[in-house]
Structure 1
Amino acid sequence: MVLPITAFYASLLGICYLYLSFLVIGARRRHNVSLGDGGHEDLGRLSRAHGNFSEYVPITLIMIACFEANTGQGWAVHALGSAILFGRVLHAYGLGRHSGVSWQRFTGMILTFLAMLVTAVGNLALIHFGM
């Protein structure tokens, strides 16, 4: 089974994850902290952006792959992949730059939750109704 659209977004998200990893590593080196955040707010925010990414992206990509495999429309797979990609990028940017709520963080979470919800409902519809 070939899932080219999901593979495209998984690859872009993988590059984003590596970038977040390098940001955390750089902050750890700069502050000489190997575990935790050492009380450094910037390291704490970067670590959470990295962790939050790893918490939401895998399940969403799995559901998108299922949607594509269940003959979901290509345009819909692209819309879902774009939503999770832009949602995670916005969220990471907002969390990395602001200690409080920011429009980037808020919008990123909305896009992430929409991608998850629409993908889950879409998969259930494809399975149940054979759409």
Structure 2
Amino acid sequence: MDPTTSAHAAALWAGLHIVLLLVLSVLVTRQRRKHRVEIGDGGVPALQQAIRAFGNATEYVPAALAGLSLLALVGAPPLLIHPIGLILFAGRIAHAVGLSRSTGASLPRAGGVLATWISLVAIAAALLFYAIP
């Protein structure tokens, strides 16, 4: 198998997740400008939600992208990297949508967390599998 194929798979998901982080960042900026809040959340619920959606993504996405990149480096097949990347990406979008609509529990938010955790478990298991010669 061509190792660049795995790298291309990881690059796709890294690129999409970076775009997602940029979109979430823009949403925070829009709320800040709308409510004229320069620092913190100003007690504005919509801004609080936007900040948490971005913050939560920044808590999970970097480790997952590092894991996907390492999987590409150790030669994991794209057929492993793509499903994990897709589940992670769908989970992060679902979580952001759920959190942007409500601070309480919601199906998109719960599904997003579950998809994120499943992705991280899959990444960890695959890395451990490839780490053992």
Deviation, structure 1 residue 127: 1.3
Secondary structure in structure 1 of the residue aligned to 2:60: helix
1:49 and 1:84 map into 2 onto residues whose CA distance is 15
Query: Residues 59-106 of structure 1: CA distance to partner in whole angstroms, max 9, x if unpaired?
Result: 001011111221212111001110111110000000011120110000
Structure 2 residue aligned with 1:118: 122
Picking from 6, 22, 34, the partner of 2:10 is 6
Q: Does 1:35 align with 2:45?
A: no
Letter in 1 for 2:34: R
Structure 1 residue aligned with 2:88: 84
Structure 1 unmatched ranges of 5 or more: none
Structure 2 residue aligned with 1:99: 103
What is the percent sequence identity of the aligned residues?
Answer: 33
**What's the Cα RMSD here?**
1.1
The runs of 4+ residues in structure 1 deviating greater than 2 Å are none
How many aligned positions are there? 129
Letter in 2 for 1:16: L
Q: TM-score, normalization: structure 1?
A: 0.94
Question: How do 1:13-92 and structure 2 match up within 5 A?
Answer: 13-92=17-96
Letter in 1 for 2:24: L
